[in-house]
Structure 1
Amino acid sequence: MKTHSESPAEPIRRRAPDLPSLPIVAIAGSRGKSTVAWLLNEILLAQHLKIGLWTTTGVYKNGDHLVGELGPWSDVMGSLARGELDVAIQELEDPVVTGVGLPEHTYPIAAISSLCGNNDECLISSVAEQGAQAQHIVARAVRPDGVLVLNADDHAVMVAADNTAATVSLFGLHPDNPTLRHHIDEGGSAVWLDGTRVVAGNSWSPEVICDASDAAFTLDGSLTFQMQNLLCAVSLAWNMGIDRDAIAEGIRSFEPDVGLMPGSCNILEHGEATILLDSARHVWTVRSLIRGIRDSAFHRTVVVTDCFPHLDDEQTAEVGRLIGRVADVVVTQRHATDNHSLDQFKHGLANNDVPPLVFAMPSEIDGIERAVHMLHPNDLCLVLTQNVTESVSRIRALSRVGIQTSPPEIEPTGG
């Protein structure tokens, strides 16, 4: 499938000339789909391709956001069939896949980005159960002459390898991952990291594709799940025959745009400080964020979050404990009808050797203003929010005018 002397769409179009086959890339998984889809889109743009795209924020055709979903996607498919577009990218949501299904042997190439990242609590959840059903369906939807890209670092994802007739190509953070190592030693293809270099191939024919240090959205490689998303997108592009220069250019230019992928580790700069916005709502997704932040080189970390009132007491306390591992200051919101969640959250924060200073503000926007006020050069502000657009608007307004007035003085509540 991988060639570099022809249009990257051609290896997909020619897979079975006796059967209709459109160059559609399917991307599934419980987390990371939007990042992979938009990063792949950026890489394909660097290859000067015309692209159709269906993600959680809608349908796009050559960069234009179309109104609606099913009608516009039909339009994209028509343009693809007529050769007016080179390739289409489709993000597959687990509930839709399990509810509606997918026709077998349809996609020439697909990827499954993640399921639970080997987190035990996630693996016994309804999210994982539905995700496992979806990835089984996706695996069977790839053509026998196609390629299924899988995350070798996620054991639950690797189950899909037994459910597909397609060729399996892996990606992983380390070449010594036993699953990946066995695969490439047997002649299978994979993408992995060698230091900061992204390498593709097998044990006897590896080639350096690009340098992951050029990817600003990984926070210098500290956000492990973003590094995995990068490897997934590179693996798709490499298997499609995209030039190495285009892959490198796409990685350098990509940023998680808040309008296109809100809450997917959007990064904003405020002076010489960094603000990271994410919509993590489960213990395991918070844990992956915290692990990355803990390994980063920021001076101080300020976290803006609610008290996770949708979680049970044990989970709320665990989220507090995790956040307390990296936070110097936590700014949360008072809930007049839910002081219990705040108490559980603070209890978790206190289960650290050095608990953070805690401020409880009247609202999330007040909390963001308080946190931004505290930032110094080389600080990180992590904002965990479901109101990404509103939060970004306020942060940008503060950045434009500078912070000339202080927010209301609120006494810290203690850890």
Structure 2
Amino acid sequence: MDGNHGSGVNIGLATEDEVRWGFEQAREHSRSVIVEQHFVGSDHRILVIGGKVVALAERVPAHVVGDGRSSVAELVEQTNRDPRRGEGHSSVLTRIEIDECVEHFLSKSQLTLSSVPAPGQMVLLRPTANLSTGGTATDRTDEIHPENALIARRAAQIVGLDIAGIDFVCPDISRPVSETSGGIIEVNAGPGFRMHLEPSSGRARNVARPVLDLLFKGGKDGRIPIFAITGTNGKSTTARMLSHILHANGATVGLTSTTGVYLNGERIMTGDCSGPQSARIVLREPGVDVAVLECARDGMLREGLAFDACDIGAVLNVHGDHLGLRGIDTIEDLAEVKSVVVESVRRSGWSILNADDIHTSAMSRDAGGRICYFSLANRSDWPDFLRSHVAEGGRAVTRERSRDGWDIVIHEDGESMFLMDVDEIPATFEGSAEFNVANSLAAVAMAHCHDVPAATIRAALTEFTTSFEHSPGRLNVFDGHGFRTIVDYAHNPEGLKALGKLVSHMKRGYQRTIGLVAIPGDRRDCDIREMGAVASRIFDVIVFKEDEHELRGRAPGTIAGLLREGALNAGCAPGRIQAVCPEKEAVEVCLQLAREKDLVVLTVDDVEASWSQVTGFEGAAPSRRGPDQSHIRHLRAG
């Protein structure tokens, strides 16, 4: 039952002794022994690929042909001198090995290894015709009767195999088996091809071609569309928006992001997965229809890209983050790194560029494929290059002022098409979260360039929210404690400025704003101070935090000290500032400080732990006198 290559298989057992002997032979190779009805006839291997019979070989058991002078043993030795014969499956034919089975089979014909067959006499050495035991194959593809071919095709279909080797025994393959008797004795899920590629006699069959035709239908090359997204800020949200749109369009989407690897929204790997290794996981996944890959700076500098070319590449923006690391000292250096994504766009693809960012729009000179811009600027404020691009029939996705607010408009071939109101997209907070409006424009541009219908794009974006389930760590809102809490991953000054614009819109409905702010220690001193200055202009109460894993070579307290220095230099009163370490305690302090109708903004690293902490918060002490002072460091400026 669990054997292979015909080992231990014997046929034509006509007496009790033969059956007992056959049983002993079989159980040396299998834990379970099968006794089957015996079909009389020749052994045929029918190869079915993609529901079609593509080759048929009649297999003849290992044998020798007498010359009237040589013994059977000598004839075997002569046969094995054939250069086509060797060990295993790498050779066209396999060497014939003499064993107990050969000797027993000869005895059934009153022969021994010393017997001298007559000239031209064919002496079979084994009962089965496996090539692995020395058998030979003759091509009979053109001789199969249609009824027999139909039976073979149906067998492969019933078992559920795209590629199957059907072992078919019958006296004459050119006649219907219904007339001659016989039938299928085995269906092989991994059939060998050598008997068809290089038969012992007859025509060789190119069975590789139908396999490739099956795998790559319609002339396709087997690649899936690749969407690559880079930029300083907004990559994760844009990637998730785009994935949501593509999934709504019926595709199975593989997504890499800073929070993990996802297949159709289900996370299969956690952590920062915005590098090439994570992208390869998606590209190796058999069921994925499209790949949406977040391409971060570190991964590109460390390993390059996970692909040789992408179908659609996008650069969202270039801001001064991570400068001074890995030889990237200026924004121009950083732009050169990020431009690799659009330079890798194939000729038939699209490069999506932010027309409002001078470093990004300048990439149009070297970007691959065709150019599609996106812009937040109203039509009257368009830069000259964008105005010319649209006038010449180029493609662009823009936010434009309307009578009732803001519209998203697609420009193409000299025409303008209204897509939807910005207010219809929940993630934009009725347009107040301008950075998510920009992310939406980029996602729309990428989806439109992939020929996703406008109705599908519109419907998907109206469903996309900043909930923790849709977009963990990106503007997640919780209103369960009498005050509003926002959890976000603004980790550089530009990201915090963008978040600050939204907070300024929200302030009107809240008493105070409390902000938890941090920045990794490998940023430049000036960047850390700027982060503190930006925070001072946004929040009424600021909690600066630093974690041991974010020190990155700095002494404890240095990061929080630089943040505080930046805030003080920007005119922030010292009483508005606290420094807390580590993140868990810092989140707790912010939540304890909050009163009814306050707005708490937490920019955190461990998004999942912080979100659980927020949703599980049980409320402050009745006195509301403030946080546990044991977690707070009072740091002097500098």
- Same fold by TM-score, threshold 0.5 exceeded? yes
* Correspondence list, 1:363-374, <5 A: 363-374=582-593
Measure the CA separation in 2 of the matches of 1:257 and 1:166.
Answer: 35
Q: Which residue number in structure 1 is paired with residue 345 of structure 2?
A: 142
Q: How many angstroms apart in 2 are the aligned matches of 1:132 and 1:166?
A: 19
| Match for residue 237 of structure 2 among 10, 35, 38 | 35
Give 1:136 shift: 3.4
Query: Does 2:534 correspond to 1:322?
Result: yes
What are the Cα deviations for residues 367-404 of structure 1, in whole angstroms up to 9, with x where unaligned? Answer: 32332234355532121222322221211111xx4446
**1:59–1:69: 8 Å Cα contact kept in structure 2?**
yes
Q: 1:379 to 1:182 in 2, by over 3 A?
A: farther
Q: What is the 5 A alignment of 1:70-85?
A: 72-76=281-285, 78-80=286-288, 85=289
Equivalent in the alignment of 2:252: 50
Higher-RCO chain (CA-CA 8 Å, sequence separation at least 6): 1
Q: CA RMSD in A?
A: 3.6
Does the C-alpha gap of structure 1 residues 316 and 140 become closer, same or farther in structure 2, counting only changes over 3 Å?
closer
Give the drift of 1:125: 5.1
Corresponding residue number in structure 2 for 1:220: 430
After superposition, the C-alpha distances for 1:172-203 in whole angstroms (9 at most, x for unaligned) are 00132204223212221101111321111149
Cα pair distance change 1:276/1:408, threshold 3 Å: closer
Closer/same/farther in 2, CA of residues 305 and 29 from structure 1, 3 Å limit: closer
CA distance in 2, matches of 1:243, 1:233: 13
Indicate if the aligned counterparts of 1:24 and 1:89 stay in contact, CA closer than 8 A.
Answer: yes
**Equivalent runs, 1:95-110 vs 2, <5 Å:** 95-98=298-301, 99-101=303-305, 106-110=309-313
| Shift in CA distance, 120/257, structure 1 to aligned 2, threshold 3 Å | closer
d(CA) in 1 for partners of 2:602 and 2:254? 31
Instruction: Give the alignment's TM-score, normalised by structure 1.
Output: 0.79
Detail structure 1 runs of 4+ shifted over 6 Å in the superposition. Answer: 120-124, 334-337, 411-415
Question: Which amino acid in the other structure matches residue 348 of structure 1?
Answer: G
- Is the Cα contact below 8 Å between 1:217 and 1:267 reproduced in 2? no
Letter in 2 for 1:373: Q
Q: Does the residue aligned with 1:148 lie in a helix, a strand or coil?
A: strand
Q: Deviations over 1:340-385 (max 9, x none)?
A: 5544433433345664723344643333233223435553212122
Instruction: Report Cα offsets for 1:216-245 as digits up to 9, x if no partner.
Output: 333332333222111100111122222333
Mean alpha-carbon deviation: is it higher for 41-50 or for 304-313?
A: 304-313
Count of paired positions: 389
1:322 partner SS? helix
| 2:516 aligned to which of 294, 304, 323 | 304
Alignment of 1:117-136 (within 5 A): 126=329, 128=331, 131-136=334-339
Matched, 1:177 2:351: no
Long gaps (5+) in structure 1: 1-15
> Structure 1: how far apart are the matches of 2:606 and 2:330?
22
Matching of residue 250 in structure 1 with residue 460 in structure 2: yes
What amino acid is the match of 2:235? K
Match of 2:599 in 1: 380
Cα distance in 2 between the residues matched to 1:358 and 1:192: 40
Alpha carbons 1:30, 1:131 under 8 Å: kept:
no
Does structure 1 retain, via aligned residues, the 8 Å contact 2:545–2:581?
A: yes
Counterpart Cα distance in 2 of 1:254 and 1:213: 12
How far 1:162 moved relative to its partner?
1.0
Taking a change above 3 Å as real, the CA distance of residues 150 and 308 of structure 1, as seen in their structure-2 partners, is closer
Distance in 2 between residues matched to 1:158 and 1:372, nearest whole Å: 42
Given that residues 114 and 157 in structure 1 are in contact (C-alpha distance below 8 angstroms), is that contact kept between their aligned partners in structure 2? yes
**What amino acid maps onto 1:168 in structure 2?**
I
Report the Cα offset of residue 122 of structure 1: 6.2
TM-score, structure 2 as length reference? 0.54
Give the greater-gyration-radius structure (CA).
2
